[in-house]
Structure 1
Amino acid sequence: MRFLSEQRLDDGIVEREFTLGEIPGTLWTPASASASAPVPLILMSHNNGLPKAQPRLVARARHTAACGYAVVTIDAAGCGDRPRSAEAERTRAELGRAMRAGEPVDEIFEALIGPLVENAVPEWLTTLDAALELPEVDDGPVGYTSWTALGIRLAAVEPRIKAAGFFAGGYVPRAQREEARQLTVPLLMLLQWDDEGNPRRRALELFDTFGSKEKTLHANLGGHTGTPWFEAEDGNRFFGRHLK
């Protein structure tokens, strides 16, 4: 992990940009984090190829770090400014067109999101390994939050992830819907009741599918980007129960 920049923000959070081979990422740590007082790690992704610098993700990452966690995010393959294949771009455009037209999108979605998840997982695991080598990061239990499809796969293959927070969940590839049955870690799932891009029924069915014995669903009125800010507080309490 090669750090490119470091700045101490007004709230005391240290924000560092890094590269890990071809992987660009950002790490946020609270001012209290040190080799003698390492803090738990949370992996924070963003949905479907959006960049790590997306303002809503950055705001949540800083808030989470201020509550005593190291937070890492990356632009995995095909995400953010990293190159996308011409085929992926065509599929993404077709998905947008079909959704606007109210046409069936399941197969288009599979063709786009399935490979995106498969390509992202190895890079997230590489990032996890590198972050846990930092002296200010605790090598104990790890949390994951955000993109549901990616989180299901990571929690299924990575035993160090001990708690997961998921957003939405209406459109999740078939492979991850099957993997959801295998999950046993504690889960917190956030659902926007009027999410224009995630069918409510499918999200509820996915929640029912999870194999975890401790799973909590929070549903709030509003569209996709309308998640109330108090859910960030509840999310930090959830991770506090399982990571600290």
Structure 2
Amino acid sequence: MASLTGKVALVTGAGRGIGRGIALRLARDGADVALVDVRPDGIDAVAAEIDEIGRRTTTFVADVGERSEVFAAVGHAAEALGGFDIMVNNAGIALVGPIADATPEDVAKIWSINVNGVLWGIQAAVAQFKKQDNPAEIRGKIINASSIAGHDGFAMLGVYSATKFAVRALTQAAAKEHAADGITVNAYCPGVVGTDMWVEIDKRFAALTGAAEGETYNKFVGGIALGRAETPDDVAGFVSYLAGPDADYMTGQAGLIDGGLVFR
């Protein structure tokens, strides 16, 4: 029996990249999955993949920066799939550039998604978990997307790093506040993942520094102890662990899953 059989999970930013990988892994491990993204086309395609796995799924279009939309997404998931057990606050965006050049508009946008989106997700999940009649010792799990940039501040990624440090703070505080409610809160911290986000990061570095396209990506990958770039599946395996029963005694942590790039 898969470790997540009978569980209902929601994944934000599920239409592509790491979010897609997480959603598919949770489904393979037995969960029914609600897919949330700001764009409908991606989650519709992922839903079709989950149907092939044989798990139930539902989709919901939402901007995680809008609190009411996150609460609506969680309510939809619980109603459509008959319960709610796991919240994966995965949605996020990057911002590449010197700290000195960050505009109020840039900061407001990335903060809205990377930090506020996690905060609203924590709030919505806690509210739903408390509504449900669940006598289990662990009544719900919240899993947040941080980053290696939530452990080390990276040049040219200063504001992005700040948002990921903030996610670690929210994770720790929420874990302390809701342990007595039977809710665990943890985070995952990926490194250099071969997704569209890193393609855009690399292009932005090239434009700002004069490096050839691909050079920045290859430089970061060259520093990974295990000798290769990370895949969404690498991240998804760790998230599935956090979602499953083997992590029931773990809370408030922000685990690095980066192949050996940042060491703590």
Return the TM-score normalized by structure 2.
0.39
The answer to which structure has the higher strand fraction is 1
Return the TM-score normalized by structure 1.
0.41
